[in-house]
Amino acid sequence: MEKDLSNYRRSYEKSALTESVISNNPMQLFQTWFYEVENSESSEEHNAMTVSTIGLDGFPKNRVVLLKKYTEEGFIFYTNYNSEKGKAIAENSNVCISFFWPVMERQIIIKGKAEKINQNLSDGYFESRPDGSKLGAIVSNQSMVIPSREFLENKLKNLEEELSGKEIIRPDYWGGYIVKPIVMEFWQGRPNRLHDRIRYSLEENFEWRIERLAP
């Protein structure tokens, strides 16, 4: 099987990223870019991000999850703590997250440390979810091998009957992580592959060093 993709080309010409328009704080620039992609013509999930971890087998692994909140401290997402990514984070909290917004010809690559958020914050988010999503989080032993799709659906049906009319409580193996950035790189597509790349690196005094990278 072979397919030549060498002629897949486009010219990136929608915007520019110059030192005159950026903030001293990368989270402020992230917020600006996020607002701009939210207000663009794209109807995609703008909060979809790739989370990369180093697995227990020594291999990196990427998967797409949904960003549920960002603050001055970092980026929050939710998952099963016993999942493959949860076990990887427990062993090595160094992670990388990235956003790709083709409608704006932009991407952001973020290196940081992942840590569990406070239980009350996970409780609050879990309570806000639809009942179906709550039950799904409980019945799925995420990343574990299961015998069939029917096994999962039967498990859900039994749990629905068991908890009918009752409050659905967050299981202690499910909750949020916050990724606290130490490096944030902003990439803006430009013509002739001379893309703009601006990197923020957190220094010991908690100030951000700003550098331009060659494309």
Please tell me the least confidently modeled range out of 43-47, 49-53, 192-196, 203-207. Answer: 43-47
Q: Is the pLDDT of residue 41 over 90?
A: no
The pTM assigned to this predicted structure is: 0.93
The residues annotated with a catalytic role in the active site are: 193
In tens, the pLDDT along 6-21 reads 888 888 888 999 999 8
In tens, the pLDDT along 126-180 reads 999 999 999 999 999 999 999 999 999 999 999 999 999 999 999 999 999 999 9
Burial class (CB in 10 A: 0-12, 13-18, 19+), 59: exposed
Structure tokens at 107: 């991407």
Confidence of residue 34 (pLDDT cuts 50, 70, 90): very high
CATH architecture of 26-126+174-212: Roll (2.30)
User: Domain-by-domain residue ranges, the chain?
Assistant: 26-126+174-212
Q: Is the pLDDT of residue 209 over 90?
A: yes
Q: Which helix (H) or strand (E) holds 27?
A: helix 26-38
In tens, the pLDDT along 54-68 reads 999 999 999 999 999
CA angle, residues 192, 194, 198, in degrees to nearest 5: 155
CA angle, residues 27, 33, 35, in degrees to nearest 5: 105
